[in-house]
A and B are shown apart, each in its own frame.
Chain A
Amino acid sequence: MKLKLLHHIWFIPKCAVYVFVLPCFFCSALWANDKHSTTNSKKDLVFINEYDIRNFEDIVITGIITDENGIGLPAANVMEKGTTNGTVSDNDGKYSIRVKDQNSILIFSYLGYLSHEVNVGSLSNIDVRMELSSESLEDIVIVGYGSQKKINLTGAISSISSKDIASRPVSSAQQSLQGLIPNLNISVSNAGGEPGAALDMSIRGLQSFGGSNAPFVLVDNIVMDINSINPNDIETITVLKDAASSAIYGARAAYGVILITTKTGKSNKGRANVNYSTNIALSKPVQVPKLVDAMTFAHVANDAAKNVGGSPWYSAEVLDRLAKNIANPGSAPEMFGQPNGLTWNIGSMGLGAAANTDWYDILYKDFSSRQKHDLSIAGSTEKMDYYLSAGWYGEQGLLRYGNESFNRYNFDGKINAQATSWAKIGLLFKYNYGAQEFPWQQELGRGRIYDMMSKLKPTMPAKYPGSEIWTQESRIEEWRTQRDNTTNTQMVLAPRIVLEPIKGWVTNLEFNYTTSNNRQVLSAKQYFWLQPNGELAAGLAKISTSYRPRLYTDTYLSPNLYSTYTRSIRKHNFSALVGYQQEKYDYFAVNADALYLLSDNVPSINTAVGTKTVSDGQGYWATQSGFGRLNYNFDEKYLVEANFRADGSSRFEPGKQWGFFPSVSAGWVPSKEKFFPLKNVINFFKLRASFGELGNQNVANYLYIPTLGIGQSSFLFSGQRLWTVTPPNISSVNLSWEKVKTLDFGTDLAFLDNKLSTSFDWYESRTSNLVGPGPAVPAVLGTSVPRENSGEIRTRGFELEISWRNNIGDFKYQIGANLANNKSVVMSYNNPTRILSTYYEGQTLGEIWGYKTDGLFQTSGELANWPSQSFLWAGKWNAGDLKYLDLDKSGAVNNGKNTADDHGDMVVVGNQLPQYLYGFNASASWKGLDFSVFFQGVGKQDLYISEIFNGNIFRGPANGPFHMMVYPEHLDYWRDASSPLGANPNAYYAKPYSVFDGDNSKAHGRPTDRYLQNGAYLRLKNLRVGYTIPEKLTNKVLIRNANIYFSGENLFIKKNMDLLDPEQTGGRNGDGRTYPLSKAFSLGLNVNF
C-alpha cells in the first residue's frame, strides 16, 4: 500500500525470477533468427564470427599465448588486423586462426596486457609472450557486471593492472593506489601512519553533507573493504567515475565505484604454476618533530611566562643546573621532590626541571621492519581452473617502546569447473585476518599518545633520579600496560554459477556471503612510578585497572542474478543485460567493561572484581534492486549505452524507499571514419559523452524513528549509576536519497603508432537532495536540527592522463602523467539569512573564512592608532600581537552579522581542499634490468591548522604550560631585546603567551591570511630497480623466472611547510599530533616455479 508506482513497474513480480525470465524471451527471439547458431561445440567459442571465413585463403596460424611468466593465457584475443576475424585461446593459451594472406597482421590482446602485433609473413606458428600493461586502448576493462573493450567504453573509466601496484612495500591496495588514478583522491586519515591504518578515499571530489562520500568498492563483485584484500591477489582495478559507468550500481554508487578483480588460474602446460614473492623492508618516519635544545627551550618558555607577567619557569638556579647537565650530563640534579616527598617539582611535563633529554631520539626507533610473503599456486586444466594464495604481511611500528604492530594473513581461493558444456560452477573463498596491536590510553584512547608526546619538554628527565624507572610523563610504562589489541577476521564465501545455454547468452548467479568477526580488547593494567621519598606509587590505581572486550560481528548476504546476451550481426554489436540484486546486512556487537583486575597476569571479565557493564549494538539494513543495460555499437565506431537501476533501501521510511536511476552515454570514433584526415599521426580518436543519475543511501539507519538511547546516569544515586534514557532528537522524517547527476565529456586519443596516448574528461556533477542538517535555526530549539534532503552542490572538474611508450631496441620505456582538479559550489541551501555557520548559496566548498592581517604591532603607539580589535579579544593588546585589517573601514575589526552578505572584515582567505592532484611515473627496462619511479603530489592547498585550541603544534610556545612545545621553526617569534635570544621584531609568529587560553587567541584561534600554510607537495612515492635473472641460469634450479628488486617508498618530499608533513596536519588529536608516515627501503624477490 505504501509502495510507490515505481515499485509496481519494476517489481510487479516482486521477485527476481521474472527479471530472469524476461531476458529469456528477449534472447530466444534473437536466437530464432540466427541461422548460424550452433549448440554446444567448443569450437563455437573460438570463432567469434564465421561469416567471412569462407573467403579466406587457407593459411592457418597456430601458437601459444603466454603471460610474462610463460604461463598460457586462456581466452586471450587474437584478431586479424583490419577485419572482424578473430579467435580466443583455449585453456592452455593455444590458439589457431585462419588468415587471409601473408600480409595479414595478427593482434594479440589480453586483459591487463599490452596488445601485441605480429606480421604473419611466412610464419605458421606464432608464440606470443604478452607483456603486462598499465593501459592500452585494446585492453579489456572490467565494468559493472561485465567487461568491455576499452575502445568501446563510453563512460569515464580508469583502470590499472597488477603491474602498477606490484612490488611496493606497502600494506594495502589503498596505499599503492594513491596518485595512480586521476581524481581518485586518497589521503591520510586521522590514524596517520599507524601500522595497518586505512586511508580516506573519494572520487572526483564529490561532496556529501551528511552521508559518506566514500566510493563503493567491489572485489570480484563482492562488497568489501578495500583493505581486506591482499594487494598481491589483485589482477586489475577499475574505477568508474561518471554516473553512466556506475549507474548499474545505483544507490550505492553515487560517489563512484572501484572494481577489483583478483587473479584466476591460468594454464601452465598442464602444470601448476607456483609463485613466491617476498619483500623485506626497513622503514623510518618521514618526519619526526624536532625539539629545540633544552637551553633554548628554557629561554623560550621564560619569554612566554614573562609575556603573561608570570614568574619565569626556569629560575637562574635551574638554568645553571641545566647548563651543567648540558655540558656534563648528570653533573647537577635534574629534578627535586616537593617538600611533601610525594610529588616532583617538574611543573608541567618537565617545565622547570633541568634535564637535557632528546625525547624523539628515545621514543622513536631508528629503523623498523616490514615483511611480506606471498605464495600462490594456480593452474588450469581443460575442465577446471584454480587459484590459491596465501599471504602474510607484518609491520612493526616506529615507536621504540610502543611495541605496536600490524599483521595480516590472507587466503584467497578461486576454483571454477566446467560442469557441463553450458554450465560452469565456481567458488570464491576469501579469508582475511588482521591483527593490530597498539598502546592505548585508558581515558582518551589511542590518539592521546601523540598528544602527550607533543607536550614533553626537553628539560623533562626520562628516568627518575638514580633509577631505571621511566618517568610517568614519558608514558612509556603506560604504553606497556595499557594496550589495544584488535583483530579482524573476514570470511567470504561466494559460489558462482555461469550458464550459457545458448552462445552469447550468459547468465550469472552469484551468492555473496561475507561474515566478519572483529574483536577489540582494551586492557589497562597497573603500573608504578617513583616518588621522591623512594616509594613506588601507582600510576593507575588497582581499582581503575580494566579489561574491555568489544566483539562485533556482521554478516552480509547478497544474491545477485544477472543475464547478458551479446550478439554481433555484421557490424552491429549488441549486448543487453538485466539483473536483480538484494542485500541484507546484519550487525551485532557486544561491549563489556570490567574494572578492577585481581591479577594483571590474567586479565579477563571473570578475574575483574569491580563494576562490570555490558552493552550491545544491533542493527540491520536491506536493499532490493533491479538493473539493466543496453549496449550497441556499429563497427566500434558509433557507440551507445543505456543503464538503469531501481533501488529500494530500508534506511528510509516506507514510501520513501525507492529510487530509479537511469543513465545514457554515447561515443563516436572519428578516427575510424573514412574521411578522417590524420590517420598517420592520430591512430585513434574517440569522443564520449554521458549523462546519468545516481543515488546515495549512506545515511544512518532509522533516522525517521524517534528513539531513546539507554545509558547510565552520570549522577550517582545512593552510590549507584542508575539507568537512564536519552531524549530523542527531532526525527528526520521524509528523508530519502541523495541524487547525483553527472554530465561527462571525454576524449581518448592515440598518436604516433599508439606511442602517445591521452585521455581527457570534463564533468559537471550536481548533487541534489543532499542529506544534511536542516536550515540553521535559533538555539532555543534545544537540539540539533533534523536532517533533511536539502540543497544542491555543483562540482566541476577534469581529469587528464597522458602516456608515452616506446622501444629502442631492447630498451623499453614508458612515461605517464595524470592530473585532476575539481571545485564544488553550493548552488542552493535552505539558509535564507546566508549565515556563515552553515552552508550557504554561493559557497565554494572548502573555503576558509578569516581575517587579513598586516604584520605585528611593534609599539604601543601603533596600537593606539589602530582600529579597535576588541571584538577578537576584549583584553589588552600588546606589541608583538597580530594587526588585523579593518577592511570595511568601520573603525573596528569584527565579523558583521556573520553572514555572506554582512561579514564585516572577515573574508575568504583560502581553500582547504586539495587541488590539482597529480601523479607521474616513468619506467624503463633493458634486458633483465627494470627501473621505475612514481611521484605523486598536490598542486595547491591552504591549510589552517589552528582549529584545535590547545596543544596546537603550529603555535608552539603560544600554548599553555602543559601544551607548550618548541620546534626550531617556532623560534621565529616576536620578542624584544630583553629576551636572552635577542630581539626579533620582524618575526613570523606573534608574541607567545604562556597561558592555556586567553591571550594567545589574539594571534591564533581564528584563520588569518598570515598563518595559512601552503599544503602543496610533491612526493617520490616509489622507486624501483629490478633485475630478472636470466632464464638459462634459473632453469637449472627449476625456477622458471626470478626477479630481484629494490623498492623504496616515500623516499623524498618537496613541500613548502617546514613544521609538518602536509599530509599529516590532521590526526586523532588534531593538527599533526599523529603517527608519522614512514619511508621504506625494501628488497624483494619474485620467483615462479
Chain B
Amino acid sequence: MAILMLIASCKKDFLDLTPADQISDPEFWKSTQDMELYVNGLYSVLPGWLLSGSGGNPLLDAGTEMAISVGLWLPTKNRLDGTINVSSSGGGWDWTNVRNVNYFLENATRVPDGGLKEHYIGEALFFRAWNYFTLLKQFGDLPIITKTLAADDKDALYASRSSRTEVVNFIISDLDMAVSKLKKKNEVAAQRVSRDIASLFLSRVCLYEGTWEKYHQNDAFKGTTDGTVFLTKAAQAAKAVIDGAIYSLATGNPNQVYYELFNQINLSSNPEILLWRSYSNAQGDQFTNQLWNWPHGSGYTQDMVRTYLCKDGLPISLSPLYMGENDIRDVIKNRDPRLVQSIMNPGDPVLINLKNDTTKYTLPILGGAQNDPTGYESQKFRRPQIDPATGNQSGELAYIIFRYAEALLNYAEARAELGQLTQGDLDLTINKLRSRVGMPPMTLASITTDPNWPDYGYSLPNYLQEIRRERVAELLTEGFRLDDLMRWAAHKLFVGKRPKGAYYSAELKAAFPNLIVDANNFLDPYKTALNGPNGGWGFNPAKNYLMPIPTNELTLNTSLKQNPGW
C-alpha cells in the first residue's frame, strides 16, 4: 500500500510549482484596472509630512535661513553648511522610482485600448517627470533612461550623463505628453493627478531650470542655454493653469484665511488646492504632522520675520508702522497678516479640548534639542483642536502638494525674469495674493526701494526683489526655499552668516535662563554649530550647488564624472 501511495504521488510535474500568493507578470496587464493598481503605487513618491519618531517634526524649510531646527533635521542644514561628504553608495543616486515608471510604460501597451488607459499613461509620465526632477535637483546632469534595464544592458548602464538642459527637455516632453493625455480634475477621482497638476508642475520645473540656467551661466553648474526658453515655457504652463479657470484662491476673512488654509484635515472642496495628501489615524498613519506636538524642535528665524512688509506695503526699514522686534507682540504688529498667521503669538490657541476649553500660547519653549531654538514657533500647519477619536491633536492634517498660489507666483516670476512683466500680470497674480489678506497692491511703476533688500550678489530689478519677497511671504515653509536658493544661485544670502532667533527679552530670560545669544542679545542657537567663515554657513559655491555622486558609481561606471568641486 505504501508503495502504491508513493507511485500515486509520483507525478511527472511533481516539481513544477508556481507561486500561489502573488501575481506573476504574464497574468497581469489585462485591463485598465491592472494599470490603475500599478499606478497607485507610483504616488508614494509624492511628499508628505516628514517622519520623525522622536516626537519632533521640523518645518519643511528648516535648515535654510528662514527656519531652523536643532538636532532634528540636518540634511538641508548640512547642505547649506557644506558639510556633506561623498558617500560610497546611496547618497540619493537612486533609480528605483524611474525604473518603476519605465516598467509600467513598457507594459501599458499590452493593455487593450480604451477607458482610462491614456490617462494612466499620463499619470505615469507625470511621475517619471517627478522622479527625474528629484534627481536633477540633486545631481544636475543625468543619464536618460527610458526602459527597464537588465543587469547586462551595458550601453545604458555604463553610459555617461546627458546635460541638464537635455534632461529638462526630456522632463518637459514627458509632461507635455502627460498634459495631453491626462483628464481634467472633474473627470478623475479625487486626489489623482489631473491635467492642470501636470501643467503646474511643468511650470515649476521650467521656472527652476530657467532661473538656474540664467543665474548659473557663469559658474560650473551652467546648462547649455541662458534659460529664456524654459522661462517662456514656465510662463505658458502657469498661464494655462490660470486660464483653465478650474482653480482659484481660497477667500475669507483676511485675518484668518491664510492660516485656515493650512490647518485643515480635508481640502477636497478647497478651490485653491490642486493636489494634497491626506492622512488617517484609523488607517494606521503614524508619525504624521506633529507640529502641534509642542515644542517640536524648530522655529522661524530673524530673517524670516524681517522679510514681511508692514501693513502699509512698506518694508520694515521704512514703514512708520514698524514697532521693532524686542517683543514678539511688537514683531507682529501692523505687519503683513500672513506673518501673524504664520507664527505663534501670545493668546493664540495651542489646544482646544473637547469641552471647547482653549489652552493659550504664552511663551515659546526654548533651549534643548526638541525645543524651539529661535523663539518663533510656527502657527502654520498647526491644528489646535483635539480629535475626539484619538484624544489627541490630529495627526491627519492635510499636506499640500500643489496649490493655485504657486501658479500665480510662478507666472509672475517667469514674466519678470523674461523682462516681460506688466501691471496686468501683477494684478493677475501678486495682487490677488495680497488682496486676499488685505495688503495693498504692488504697483510696477512705484516700487519702494528697500535699503535692506537682500544682496544676491548680482543686480536684480526692484520688481524681482519684491516678487521673491512675496514668494517667501506666501509659500513659507511649504518646502520651496532650498530649491529657490539653489536656482537663484543665492549663496550670498547665507554664506558666512548665521540664522538668529528672537530678542532674548527679560521675559524669555526669566523663563529660560542661560541661552546662547549674539552681541545684540538675539538668540544665537547655531553659534558654534556651523562650519563656514565667521561661524556662519560654510556652503562652498564652487561645489555645494549639486550633490556628489557616490564613489562606488564612479568606480563601476568610468564614463560617469563627478560633479564640480567634489
Contacts and interface: CB of A to CB of B under 8 A. Distances in A.
A622 B17 contact: yes
A715 B40 contact: yes
A876 B350 contact: no
Contacts of B189: 717-718
A725 B54 contact: no
B23 interface: yes
Interface residues of B, number: 119
Given A544-B390, A702-B18, A874 B516 contact: no
Contacts of A648: 15
A896 to B, nearest CB: 9
Interface string B266-308: 1010000000011111111010000000110000000000000
Interface string A716-755: 1111111111111010000000000000000000000000
B43 interface: yes
A619 B20 contact: yes
Given A15-B6, A509-B2, A897-B551, A725 B190 contact: no
A678 interface: no
Contacts of B17: 620-622, 650, 701-702
Interface string B491-523: 000000000000000000001011110000000
Contacts of A864: none
A875 B24 contact: no
Nearest to B17: A650
A146 interface: no
A618 B21 contact: yes
A872 interface: yes
Contacts of A364: none
Contacts of A497: 2
Interface stretch (B113-121, B253-261, B357-365, B466-474): B357-365
Contact of A706 (B25, B71, B102, B283): B25
Interface string A302-334: 000000111111011100000000000000000
B219 to A, nearest CB: 20
A311 B367 contact: yes
Given A311-B367, A312-B514, A543-B281, A780 B85 contact: no
B191 A898 contact: no
A541 B99 CA distance: 39
Contacts, number: 323
Interface string A614-651: 00111111111000000000000000000000001110
Contacts of A537: 391-392
B269 to A, nearest CB: 12
A583 to B, nearest CB: 10
B283 A542 contact: no
Given A778-B560, A837-B552, A541 B7 contact: no
A554 B268 CA distance: 47
A994 interface: yes
Contacts of A343: 294
Interface in A572-622: 580, 582, 584, 593, 595-596, 610-611, 616-622
Given A783-B96, A874-B82, A875-B538, A725 B28 contact: yes
A895 to B, nearest CB: 7
Interface in B1-37: 2-3, 5-7, 9-10, 12, 14-25, 28, 34, 36-37
Given A20-B3, A340-B350, A725-B23, A622 B14 contact: yes
B149 interface: yes
Interface string B84-104: 111011000111111110111
Interface stretch (B163-171, B232-240, B312-320, B527-535): B527-535
Given A315-B513, A835-B556, A873-B85, A310 B95 contact: no
A538 B390 contact: yes
Nearest to A708: B23
Nearest to A720: B283
B138 interface: no
B516 A715 contact: no
A713 B40 contact: yes
B263 interface: no
Nearest to A589: B21
Contact of A707 (B12, B25, B48): B25
A580 B6 CA distance: 10
A782 B286 contact: no
A180 B18 CA distance: 42
Nearest to B511: A339
Nearest to B295: A338
Given A309-B527, A721-B283, A730-B150, A17 B7 contact: yes
A650 B513 CA distance: 71
Contacts of A723: 37, 40
Contacts of B516: 309-311
B46 interface: yes
Nearest to B15: A650
Contacts of B54: 348, 962
Contacts of A996: 71-72, 74, 369
B370 interface: yes
A970 B72 CA distance: 24
Contacts of A876: 531
A40 B192 CA distance: 83
Chain B facing A: main interface SS:
loop
Nearest to A833: B555
B78 to A, nearest CB: 7
A538 B354 CA distance: 14
A720 B560 CA distance: 43
B402 to A, nearest CB: 14
A14 interface: yes
Contacts of A611: 282-284
Contacts of B6: 15-17, 559, 561, 580, 582
Contacts of B278: 716, 719
A137 interface: no
A895 B551 contact: yes
A129 to B, nearest CB: 40
B523 to A, nearest CB: 10
A1038 interface: no
A351 interface: yes
Contacts of A874: 82-85, 531
A595 B282 CA distance: 7
Nearest to B371: A347
Contact of A774 (B41, B151, B370): B151
A1075 B106 CA distance: 49
B121 to A, nearest CB: 16
Nearest to B78: A998
A315 B368 CA distance: 11
Q: Which residue, of A561, A707, A708, A897, has the highest number of chain B Cβ atoms within 10 A?
A: A708
The 9 nearest A-B residue pairs measured at CB: A309-B528, A782-B99, A541-B390, A715-B43, A618-B20, A782-B95, A724-B41, A875-B83, A707-B22
19 contacts: A16-B7, A309-B527, A311-B368, A315-B513, A348-B370, A537-B391, A538-B392, A561-B6, A619-B20, A620-B20, A707-B22, A717-B189, A724-B40, A727-B104, A780-B95, A782-B96, A782-B149, A785-B151, A995-B71
Interface of A: 14-17, 20, 308-313, 315-317, 338-343, 345, 347-348, 351-352, 443, 497, 509, 511, 537-538, 541-544, 559, 561, 580, 582, 584, 593, 595-596, 610-611, 616-624, 648-650, 654, 657, 701-702, 705-711, 713-728, 730, 774-783, 785-786, 833, 835, 837, 870-876, 895, 897-899, 960-962, 994-998
Interface of B: 2-3, 5-7, 9-10, 12, 14-25, 28, 34, 36-38, 40-41, 43-44, 46, 48, 54, 70-72, 74, 78, 81-86, 88-89, 93-100, 102-104, 143, 145, 148-151, 156-159, 189-192, 266, 268, 277-284, 286, 294-295, 350-351, 359, 361-363, 365, 367-370, 389-392, 511, 513-516, 525-529, 531, 538, 550-557, 560
Given A782-B95, A876-B531, A899-B555, 6 more contacts: A623-B15, A707-B23, A718-B191, A782-B100, A874-B82, A898-B551
